[in-house]
Chain A
Amino acid sequence: MTADAVDIYDHDPVYFSLNEFEQHEQVKQLIEQIGSIDNQSVETVNTNEQTDVELIYDQFQYILNQYQEQPQLLDSYLPDMILRLLNYIEHGPNKNHIAGALLHQIIKVRGFKVMTTRFLPHEPHHLIVVIKLIDRELEENSSSENAWATLYSLLVWLGTTCMVPLDLCRFDSKSSKQTTMVQILNIYKRFLCNSVYMRMVAFNIGHFMSRQDSIRLLCLNDYLTGEIFPILEKYDDKLNDENIILRITASLQTVSYIFKFGQRLNLIAYVESLYNVLIDKKILNAKRIVIRRMAYKLLQKLAMILLPMPKHGAAWRYRRGVRNLLDSLTLKKNTSTATTTTTTTTIKSSSTLNGHKHETNQDGENDDAEDNSNVPSTVESIIDLLMAGLSDKELYVRWSSAKGLGRITNRLRKSYAAQLVSHLCDRISTVALLSCDHYALQGGCLALAELARRGLLLPERLGSVMPIVHKSLNYDEKLGHQTYGHIVRDAACYVCWSFARAFDTIDFRSYTADLAGMLLCIICFDWNVQCRRAASAALQENVGRQGEYFPHGIDIIQQTDYNLIGKFDYCFLTLAFALIKYYDIYGKYMIEHLLKYKIIHWKKETRLLTSQLLEKTSSTYGTIEEIYETILLPVLDRCLDKKNDGIARHGLLASCGHIVYGLYQRFQKNPNECQRLPELRENLQNKISNLLNEYRLQGYLEGYSGDLIRPSLCSFIENISRSIDYFRQNKDDMCLSNETIDCWQTIIDECISNLDDDVRQVGLNALKAFSNAFYSNSTSSHLIDRYLGKISITSQEHIRQGLSLAVASLPSQMLLGSKTIDKILDCLFKLITITNQSQHLIKQRKDSLIALCDLYENTHLHSSSPFSNQTLVNKLINSFLRCTRDYTNDRFGDSGRLVREKACSQIVRLLQLINENSQTKNFLTLTILQNCFCAILTNLCSKIDDLRMNSGESVIKFLNIPFGEKIEHKNELNTIFLNQNDIDWRNSQIAFTMIVQLLIYDKYRYVIWSNCLITAGDLSNASQALYTFLKTNKSNDYLINLLLNDLEKIFSDQRIQMRVIIPSIQACERLLSQSTFENYYEKHSKQLIQHWTNIIQSLEDILTKKLQTLNNNPTLYLHFIKLYCSLLQFNNIELKNLVLKLLTKFFLHNYPWVRRQAAQNLYDTCILFNDDLLLGDDEDKSEQVMNLLTETDWEQNLDELTKIRQTLLNLFHIE
């Protein structure tokens, strides 16, 4: 998972965006439309009617869904809407279900709980109406797909009407056998176990059972003892009967609601037995999450029934100086006449502002009075169970338990609550933290936050709670390949958020600074974006509420904006750097945190960002001594700590290199900053010199952990090499021992021949810096010979890739001084040559192209450079040009594109370098430039988006180079390509519209035309661009003639390949089908026919020459057939006869599939051009042709088919 992964909060940062229900008129009209639906068509499926209903529903749903977040905006319009809908439901027929569906939609948006208690009509007589309607629906048993929604809505309405305060027996009718109460209960029971209705019906039963008459008539008792308990008794964790499980879930849900709405005293009698069932049947341990969730929900309700609720919550509760606005203003008003009393009131209230303790003390006197009742033992057991629930694997169980503990604590006396809190703290710090149980930790944090939010965590507890919060904020353990630490940190942020709100600044101030540092570390350094954002929310709350004690709070929260901190590298490199630099109070804390946790963090990205941040920090922060003593030297020492694993060494080593480089940058800016520098530096130099030798001795470079640290080793070597002048006293000082240099060279050698592309790259980076630092004066050929030798003997492509790039990057002195340059060139030229054996070595060619260019760049300015020779430069350019035509096709498809891509970009780079050198500038003749440009244009016409983009960029670069010679139409090219910035080359529509404009220039016509045709066969945007171009130039006969000439040339090319033939034929067919040549045909019919006749001849040639390839894939014949058919559109007897002869030849083809395709396509064409093809013939003949084409059995033997072909030709009047 990447840190910047899009999470669910990203799409909607601002809630409550709507202000009113704007579409109420529209909705009203939709409801009115129901009235106009035809009454008759109840069962007859009338498609029109159906769509009307669907239309109404879809629009209604679309509008209402927008208010899901702010449903209260609908409120003032709801009664009217509901009344109309209920009217339709009542008076049906045929309208009740669409009305029911709309009503259900309203209920969905507004929520069934709100809808039950408000909005729906609840006159006493409505009760009977609803019951009758439900009976009607049940009897009717409609097949309408919305019937369930109608029933759902009616059941919600039943819930409303049941709230009638009258005794239900008043509604009993004599005719009915059942009492109304039984009737209602039966309806509820019928739907309870259907998961669609379950929650809502359970909610209704909950309310129903709180009715006085339900209790009086023992309805509640019967239901609980007769139905709920027996079902719960059946529970067994091995139970597989889905039906019973559904009933158990429904029962638990129902009881939860009964206990929520019921009176404490009516329910207290059932608590014991319910508790026993939950325990005895182990329902709390159910494997099924739904059941476990419900069970825990019920459990906390049981405890709350047992404990009476003090009037305003626990008297000992901590209250922040919040007061009632009404009190202070009205009080003021009443006393405003008497000034003396006002002052006393004000003084009194201001004394309580800081003194919540006053409040507590006053109330504390009453504590004993309230606490007379002992906590029942069941409550104690429930608290224990909820504590255990905090460690449940399921989030909702933990959340429920946390809330439950909060609610229960609110009903406890002070001393008992204090025990509970200390028990909770113990649990977190011993059980959860020690055993790294992230579930328990998160649950514990949720509970702490819930307590604090309710004022149940007293300030004197903060001392023992804050260490736990700190540990949780910093909890980041890995569990196998996964990590759950983020849920803990997120919950810890919730604690911080709730503390900020709960506590008075005076009580909280001593913790603010520490907390701020901790939160900032999460915001800056947490890999998980959710945690960063949670911490930023907590930080905002703290700054807002505890502002006075929060240094620089306002400045900081502006930089920790929700959107800004979405980007991990911003957080590290910009935000954290600024905080460290400008706010020393946080800087120290954050650096400590980095060094302790992030430098060895399990996530690679974090470690690398840490090293970069430390580099930036060491170049500006504090004093040099500080950097050495608190950062660099400790980190260096830790590099050799034997307790470390590969991951830690990776981070530490990378950081060491970066810090040294940071110090070097600082030294360059201000060499005299530190007096003790020489002494510090010498010590450092020794340590660095020994470090990797020591690694080798310890065996750290081998095995899996060796692989892990390899990139870091390279980055270390690279950074130290870059900073070598930091240590150098004079020019020839090697600084490091020979042993060290050998060791580093070996490490680099291993990396540049590694299989992994990334490792090779870091190896090459290191080699460049390393060889510059230590070999720049060397003329030894030893290293080069070794590399070249290895290239020639190895069988591994990646080794050749790495080493060829390596050789080219060595210092020019070494390359030229050692007289090995010719050998290198030979080697590289060999690597890019395409032969049968090397055809598949795509990556090798790609990298060698870069290597050649690097080599050129590296050496060409030297007097002894071989590149001052024109023949060599020409050879170089030609081999690059050859690579722009690498059409290697292997099992990965068109793999050659990678080489073509690199060849295009590198050839431009090469040309630029040649052009910059005054000695070689004149090597670039017009022909060379023209050839290079055309080679790039060829690739620009590609159908592959990436290749097109790469070549497009190369074209732009090419045109921008100030060559001595000017390629043809340079000015026009500039106008086409250089007049706009950021051309979207990947967009084929834009790209090809630009490209086809080159068709009018003779020099580029053939290249563009032939390559665009190839692409136009596959990409409709390309063929569309061609078509539009030809359409615009339709009266330019000269140009069209040239293009047709080119077309002949393309197909008559003796070396033509299948990759060209098929798409080009397809493209021709596309162009013909759009009557592209109509205009030209009218004026120059003879020429056009001649062109096409020639082309047909070339095609026939191809058909014989490529017979083998075509027979391997007979579907390719189809393209020929289609092109021939489309040529029949020209009303010319010779062409027509020729084409028909050739087409009918396909009837005798070896493959029946080809025969059928030919007949099918000819048939289609005959229908299309009937008049022209069978001109002057009577109906009869035309019908004969059609019959032959459609009814012939193309599987019969060839003799029969030859006869049929002859008959057909005769019918077409062809000899």
Chain B
Amino acid sequence: MVLLSILKKLRRKEKEMRLLLVGLDNAGKSTILSRINGEEIDSVAPTLGFNIKTFNYADYVLNVWDVGGQKSLRSYWRNYFEATEAIIWVVDSVDKMRLGECRAELQDLLKEERLMGSSLLVFANKQDIVGACSLHEIRTILELDSIHKHHWTVMPCSALTGQNLLEGIDWLVNDVAQRLFDPD
């Protein structure tokens, strides 16, 4: 029972998964995290460091990583005893100007070897605002249909109203769980 073998065993037994919350700045990542956490969302400021929040959902323990702009954390995404099982990519549906940049960043991210095999949930955020892009538009501009190496889905949501947040995470957790854990 060396530490590294304990960790490996624990992880399977305790049904933990790691979710990476990413997206361009101002997409609403920290707001989503605060909303899920049941916190006040008025005071959310740009994330400088990073946040890890742990939740229980169904039988699972979710560690959600909101890493802001910290590219330097990449080495964290996968190591010898833990991997990132799921990515939540948050899109600012209102900021049409930056959807191109958003696509490039997302494709770049998915090339990352450390994220191989992880499930992808795209949240089209800020749907509560009038003039937000439709789901179809986002799906086309982000070229989501060209993604074959990850299980993925896209959902409209609003961090402000809480719309679809639960449904999205529910999809994600189930998708990962099928791959990773004994449903027992």
Q: Which residues of A contact B (CB under 8 A)?
A: 9, 13-20, 70, 72-73, 75, 114, 117-118, 320, 322-333, 336, 345-346, 349-350, 353, 395-396, 399, 446, 490-491, 493-494, 497, 530, 533-534, 537-538, 540, 544-545, 547-548, 554-555, 557-558, 561-562
Q: Is B143 an interface residue (CB 8 A)?
A: no
Q: Is B179 an interface residue (CB 8 A)?
A: yes
Known A332-B38, A395-B1, A537-B80; further 12 A-B contacts with Cβ < 8 A: A14-B80, A16-B180, A322-B54, A322-B56, A323-B37, A325-B36, A353-B39, A490-B3, A534-B2, A537-B79, A537-B81, A554-B70
The residue in B3, B178, B181 that gathers the most chain A C-beta atoms within 10 A of its C-beta is: B3
Of A16, A330, A557, the residue contacting B117 (CB under 8 A) is A16
Q: Are B79 and A562 in contact (CB under 8 A)?
A: yes
Q: Are B52 and A544 in contact (CB under 8 A)?
A: yes
A325 to B182, CA, bound (A): 21
Q: Are A336 and B161 in contact (CB under 8 A)?
A: yes
Question: Closest CB-CB distance, B183 to chain A, in whole Å?
Answer: 7
Q: Are A345 and B38 in contact (CB under 8 A)?
A: yes
The residue in A324, A328, A350, A555 that gathers the most chain B C-beta atoms within 10 A of its C-beta is: A328
A446 to B117, CA, bound (A): 34
Known: A16-B180, A320-B54, A446-B1. A336 touches B72 (CB 8 A): no
A493 to B73, CA, bound (A): 22
Docked complex: B153-184 residues within 8 A CB-CB of A: 161-162, 165-166, 169, 178-184
Q: Are B38 and A15 in contact (CB under 8 A)?
A: no
Q: Which residue of A lies closest to B166 (CB)?
A: A329
Question: Closest CB-CB distance, B43 to chain A, in whole Å?
Answer: 11
Q: Are A547 and B49 in contact (CB under 8 A)?
A: yes
Docked complex: B117-133 residues within 8 A CB-CB of A: 117
Chain A residues closer than 8 Å to B161, beta-carbon distance: 336
A247 to B62, CA, bound (A): 45
Docked complex: B1-19 residues within 8 A CB-CB of A: 1-4, 6-8
Q: Are A114 and B182 in contact (CB under 8 A)?
A: yes
Q: Are A558 and B1 in contact (CB under 8 A)?
A: no
Chain A residues closer than 8 Å to B178, beta-carbon distance: 72
Q: Are B36 and A349 in contact (CB under 8 A)?
A: no
Chain A residues closer than 8 Å to B8, beta-carbon distance: 15
Q: Which residue of A lies closest to B119 (CB)?
A: A19
Q: Are A73 and B179 in contact (CB under 8 A)?
A: yes
Chain A residues closer than 8 Å to B169, beta-carbon distance: 325
Q: Are A332 and B162 in contact (CB under 8 A)?
A: yes
Of B3, B54, B57, B184, the residue contacting A493 (CB under 8 A) is B3
A139 to B72, CA, bound (A): 67
Q: Are A322 and B55 in contact (CB under 8 A)?
A: yes
Q: Is B108 an interface residue (CB 8 A)?
A: no
Q: Are B50 and A118 in contact (CB under 8 A)?
A: no
A860 to B58, CA, bound (A): 84
A14 to B78, CA, bound (A): 8
Question: Closest CB-CB distance, A805 to chain B, in whole Å?
Answer: 47
Known: A326-B57, A329-B165. A497 touches B184 (CB 8 A): no
Chain B residues closer than 8 Å to A350, beta-carbon distance: 38-40
Question: Closest CB-CB distance, A641 to chain B, in whole Å?
Answer: 36
Chain B residues closer than 8 Å to A320, beta-carbon distance: 54
A70 to B117, CA, bound (A): 13
Q: Which residue of B lies closest to A548 (CB)?
A: B49
Q: Are B76 and A540 in contact (CB under 8 A)?
A: yes
Q: Please encode chain B, from 68 to 84, with 1 for each CB lying within 8 Å of some chain A CB and 0 for all others.
A: 00101101101111010
Of A328, A530, A554, the residue contacting B2 (CB under 8 A) is A530
Chain A residues closer than 8 Å to B50, beta-carbon distance: 547, 554
Question: Closest CB-CB distance, B83 to chain A, in whole Å?
Answer: 6
Chain A residues closer than 8 Å to B103, beta-carbon distance: none
A559 to B127, CA, bound (A): 41
A6 to B184, CA, bound (A): 36
Q: Is B35 an interface residue (CB 8 A)?
A: yes
Q: What 4 pairs across the A-B complex have the smallest Cβ distances? A: A328-B38, A534-B3, A325-B55, A325-B57
A491 to B63, CA, bound (A): 24
Of B1, B3, B70, the residue contacting A497 (CB under 8 A) is B3
A126 to B183, CA, bound (A): 25
Q: Which residue of A lies closest to B178 (CB)?
A: A72
Question: Closest CB-CB distance, A534 to chain B, in whole Å?
Answer: 4
Known: A329-B165, A332-B162. A72 touches B183 (CB 8 A): yes
Q: Which residue of A lies closest to B11 (CB)?
A: A15
A-B contact pairs, 10 of them (CB 8 A): A14-B83, A17-B116, A19-B179, A70-B179, A70-B180, A117-B184, A326-B57, A328-B36, A328-B37, A547-B50
Q: Are A324 and B3 in contact (CB under 8 A)?
A: no
The residue in A18, A72, A320, A327 that gathers the most chain B C-beta atoms within 10 A of its C-beta is: A72
Chain B residues closer than 8 Å to A330, beta-carbon distance: 166
A19 to B179, CA, bound (A): 7
Q: Are A17 and B55 in contact (CB under 8 A)?
A: no
The residue in B38, B162, B169, B180 that gathers the most chain A C-beta atoms within 10 A of its C-beta is: B38
A327 to B36, CA, bound (A): 9
A73 to B36, CA, bound (A): 30
Question: Closest CB-CB distance, B127 to chain A, in whole Å?
Answer: 15
Question: Closest CB-CB distance, B88 to chain A, in whole Å?
Answer: 13
Chain B residues closer than 8 Å to A555, beta-carbon distance: 72
Known: A16-B83, A491-B3, A561-B75. A118 touches B56 (CB 8 A): no
The residue in A329, A332, A350 that gathers the most chain B C-beta atoms within 10 A of its C-beta is: A329
Chain B residues closer than 8 Å to A345, beta-carbon distance: 38
Chain B residues closer than 8 Å to A554, beta-carbon distance: 49-50, 70, 72-73
Question: Closest CB-CB distance, A594 to chain B, in whole Å?
Answer: 24
Of A18, A118, A326, A548, the residue contacting B184 (CB under 8 A) is A118
A20 to B151, CA, bound (A): 11
A73 to B178, CA, bound (A): 7
Chain B residues closer than 8 Å to A333, beta-carbon distance: 162, 166
A557 to B73, CA, bound (A): 9
The residue in A15, A327, A497 that gathers the most chain B C-beta atoms within 10 A of its C-beta is: A15
Known: A322-B54, A346-B39. A562 touches B162 (CB 8 A): no
Q: Which residue of A lies closest to B165 (CB)?
A: A329
Question: Closest CB-CB distance, B178 to chain A, in whole Å?
Answer: 7
A651 to B184, CA, bound (A): 57
Chain B residues closer than 8 Å to A14, beta-carbon distance: 78, 80, 83
Q: Which residue of B lies closest to A333 (CB)?
A: B162
Chain A residues closer than 8 Å to B36, beta-carbon distance: 325, 328-329
A330 to B61, CA, bound (A): 18
Question: Closest CB-CB distance, B54 to chain A, in whole Å?
Answer: 5
A280 to B83, CA, bound (A): 49
A446 to B49, CA, bound (A): 32
A490 to B7, CA, bound (A): 12
A15 to B180, CA, bound (A): 11
Known: A322-B55, A332-B38. A19 touches B117 (CB 8 A): yes
Question: Closest CB-CB distance, A1176 to chain B, in whole Å?
Answer: 77
A14 to B35, CA, bound (A): 33
Question: Closest CB-CB distance, B112 to chain A, in whole Å?
Answer: 13
Q: Which residue of A lies closest to B7 (CB)?
A: A537
Chain A residues closer than 8 Å to B166, beta-carbon distance: 325-326, 329-330, 333
Chain A residues closer than 8 Å to B7, beta-carbon distance: 497, 537
Chain A residues closer than 8 Å to B81, beta-carbon distance: 15, 537
Chain B residues closer than 8 Å to A349, beta-carbon distance: 38-39
Known: A72-B178, A537-B3. A325 touches B62 (CB 8 A): yes
A9 to B52, CA, bound (A): 27
Question: Closest CB-CB distance, B172 to chain A, in whole Å?
Answer: 11
A478 to B8, CA, bound (A): 30
Q: Which residue of B lies closest to A343 (CB)?
A: B40
Chain B residues closer than 8 Å to A538, beta-carbon distance: 3
Q: Which residue of B lies closest to A346 (CB)?
A: B40
Question: Closest CB-CB distance, B161 to chain A, in whole Å?
Answer: 7
Chain B residues closer than 8 Å to A118, beta-carbon distance: 184
Known: A329-B36, A349-B39. A75 touches B3 (CB 8 A): no
Q: Are B2 and A490 in contact (CB under 8 A)?
A: yes
Q: Are B70 and A399 in contact (CB under 8 A)?
A: no
Chain B residues closer than 8 Å to A562, beta-carbon distance: 79-80
